[in-house]
Amino acid sequence: MIDIAVLASGTGTNLAALLDLPEVREHICLVVSDRADAGALDLARRAGIPARVVQFGDFPDRRSFSLAVADAVEQAGAKGVVLAGFMRILSPEFCDRFPGRILNIHPSLLPRFPGARAVEAALEAGVEVTGVTVHFVDEQVDHGPVIRQEEVPVFPDDDADTLHQRIKTVEHRIYPEVVAQFVSGRLRL
Ligand code: GAR
């Protein structure tokens, strides 16, 4: 079994979906956010899970920020890291600390539309289908071996909110399934 830390910057709906699955919830030993106002922190506290804030601005560079997050993860006893809407780029040194043990979810069919504006970029490109990717993290942003992808249709009257909502419905179904496999040790790079 692999205990995990979940890293989240935002509202934390993906964290909420992970917490809803008991076999995942019991293996979440830490939630880390780079934002003190992240909804994910409240979710963690309500679930009785330690929550830590590590703010980018408190560090001189990306490397030292990333190493502080890695230290927090290790101190909590986590062996794996699950990114759930974590909107900071982590340095290569972070990946080296948890080789093959970092998962990410991204709201597009990677390699299309990496980055923080994936939903908007899909709309701007005029694609009829976008989707969700769950992947192992390597040293590039929103990049690494794909574990699972699922398509999501784009409707003509979609805006970023309606499309992202449809994408999140898929995220909330597939991420807990993949993370359950990961914590059980059945999913390996
Ligand atoms: C999710 O849609 C996730 O795929 C995306 O951030 C959102 C977080 O939502 N992640 C990325 O864009 C990573 N590049 P949440 O806070 O409601 O879970």
- Ligand 1 atom closest to the CA of 105, numbered from 1: 4
181 CA to middle of ligand 1, Å?
A: 20
- Ligand 1 atom closest to the CA of 106, numbered from 1: 4
Nearest CA to ligand 1 atom 6: 85
pLDDT in tens, 4-30: 999 999 999 999 999 999 999 999 999
84 Cβ inside 6 Å of ligand 1: yes
94 CA to middle of ligand 1, Å?
A: 20
- Among 42, 40, 14, 44, CA closest to 169: 14
Contact between 116 and 137 (Cβ < 8 Å): no
pLDDT in tens, 103-160: 999 999 999 999 999 999 999 999 999 999 999 999 898 999 999 999 999 999 999 9
Chain centroid to CA 131: 15
C-alpha span between 9 and 89 (Å, rounded): 12
33 Cβ inside 6 Å of ligand 1: no
